[in-house]
Structure 1
Amino acid sequence: MRVGLPVLALLALAACAPEIPDSAAGVGFDDYAEYTAGREAQLRGEVAVLSPQDLAQADEGSAVAAQTMAALGPAGEAAPQPSARTNNPGISDEQDFSAVTARESIQSDRQRLEAQRQQYRVIEPEPLPGRAAAGGPNIVQYAINAPNAVGQPVYSRPGRVSQDRFLRNCAKYASSDLAQEALLKAGGPQRDRLGVDPDGDGFACYWDPTPFRAALR
């Protein structure tokens, strides 16, 4: 009787103790077993049975792929190019063979050529208008006909003109051409009333007839 009480106590403690999990199974071994079975089924060509969760994920991926393809358009289809404007009146299409052949014919070409012949006019050359006389001396003609060179005295100058006065007299004119015209208007080159040709060569204020003479050669 004394032996039975301790045994009963041990049995009661064993019934209250929590169940110890099987450590041989390991963590995640059930998932790995499912993966191994599915892999072997694929290798053997068998159809694996998908769970409802896998089917839902596959349907969601297919919907996203379909939306993406619809946004991108069909593969290989190029974007539409803007059509060339052919109704611009500022651009000629005479070099476009298809446009010309569609619009013109042999008869229309013949009519157009005939219209161009009627509009054709021959302009005969006319003589240039004569140069209006300015009423003053022509320094170009004088330069050509002058018998002497620059600095070669030809005309007498009784009254001597100082260099300073000569320079002041020449400063009144914007150029030597204008000074030469003034000399010829005032009775030159025989007379020098303006004091612009003190050496008597007939050329006022260092005016040089050489460029005009060289133009005739």
Structure 2
Amino acid sequence: MTRILLGGAALLALAACTTPIPDSGAGFNDYDSYQAERAQRDAVLQGSPAVTSSELPAAGGSDDPAVAAATSVLDGPQASEGAPLPTAAGTPAPQSVSGSAGLSEENSFDAVSAERTIEDDKTLIQQNRAQYEVVAPTDLPPRPDSDAPNIVAYALQTNNPVGTPLYGRSAFASEEKGLRNCAKYETSDRAQEAFLAGGGPEKDRNGLDPDGDGFACSWDPAPFRAVRGY
């Protein structure tokens, strides 16, 4: 008996400590008032007199624009395709883009055909063609230093690697003297032109090719050979 009393007391204490679960439907019982307030708000935004809930008929059953607009808002989006949506008071309705100023109608056959005929287009094309200026190709202008040797042609005529001696040089020729002589030229291309103009590759009067490979001042023919697939 004592155990039964203790168990009952424990159940009562547990029930007293349990947090009550709130009603999830509280606050949604007066849905008619919510509809009336929403219709009244939408009517004010559209610049129409306020509409009460008693004035709201069934959807599509009133001739009053304000009432019809409020009813359509409550019933959800039912606008037909292409119909403009209602706007607030003072806000201009959006306009179609197709007729806006500044947009070209050249891609519209109907618009263009209304302005001119096919014969007009043909005449316009002929007028435009008459204004074309045909420039005939001419020879390339000569190089300012046309008397200088053509190092490109020389590169394509050779096939030996850089550093491979092919021509005899003086016993007094050295790499140090070659570097000093090469410093007189802005680029290795200029040095190679001077080397060929001075009798190269067989002769090296300016001391620009001490190793006798036919290439002065570290000039490399590889980029020119690459064009011809060497």
**TM-score tier after normalising by the smaller chain length:** 0.5 to 0.7
Deviations, residues 84-122 of structure 1 (Å, cap 9, x unaligned): 46332xx42122355335x335xx222221331343358
- Counterpart of 1:205 in 2: which secondary structure? coil
Which of structures 1 and 2 has the larger relative contact order (alpha carbons within 8 angstroms, sep 6+)?
Answer: 1
**1:209 and 2:206 aligned:** no
Task: Say how many residue pairs are matched.
Answer: 149
- Residue matched to 2:120: 111
RMSD: 3.4
Structure 1 contact 160–198 (Cα < 8 Å) conserved: no
CA distance in 2: counterparts of 1:68 and 1:118, whole angstroms: 61
Q: Structure 1 residues 170, 212: closer, same or farther in 2, change over 3 A?
A: same
Task: State yes or no: 1:139 paired with 2:151.
Answer: yes
Residue equivalent to 1:87: 101
Change in CA separation of 1:78 and 1:177 when aligned onto 2, cut-off 3 Å: same
Which has a greater percent of helix? Answer: 1
Distance 1:68 1:150, change over 3 A: closer
Amino acid across the alignment from 1:119: N
Amino acid at match of 2:162: V
Identical amino acids, percent of aligned pairs: 41
Which consecutive residues of structure 2, in runs of 5 or more, have no partner in the other structure?
A: 1-38, 48-65, 73-84, 88-92
Counterpart for residue 163 of structure 1: 175
Contact kept in structure 2, 1:150 and 1:203, CA below 8 Å: yes
Q: Given the alignment of the two structures, is residue 72 of structure 1 paired with residue 81 of structure 2, yes or no?
A: no
Q: Which runs of 5+ in 1 are unaligned?
A: 1-64
How far did 1:140 drift? 0.5
Question: Does residue 1:184 correspond to 2:223, yes or no?
Answer: no
Q: Contact 1:153–1:199 (CA<8 Å) still a contact in 2? A: yes
Q: Distance in 2 between matches of 1:118 and 1:111?
A: 11
Compared with structure 1, are the counterparts of its residues 96 and 126 closer, same or farther at alpha carbon in structure 2 (3 Å cutoff)? closer
> Any idea what the Cα deviations from partners look like across 1:147-197, whole Å, max 9, x if unmatched?
744333333222423333323333444432222122123332233233220
Instruction: Name whichever of 171-180 and 136-145 sits farther off.
Output: 171-180
**Distance in 2 between the 1:67 and 1:147 partners?**
92
TM-score by length of 2: 0.51
Secondary structure of the structure 1 residue equivalent to 2:178: helix
Q: Secondary structure at the match of 1:169?
A: helix
* AA of the residue aligned to 1:200: G
1:71 and 1:147 map into 2 onto residues whose CA distance is 89
Shift of 1:124: 6.7
After TM superposition, list the pairs within 5 Å mapping 1:36-75 onto structure 2.
Answer: 69-73=43-47, 74=66, 75=69
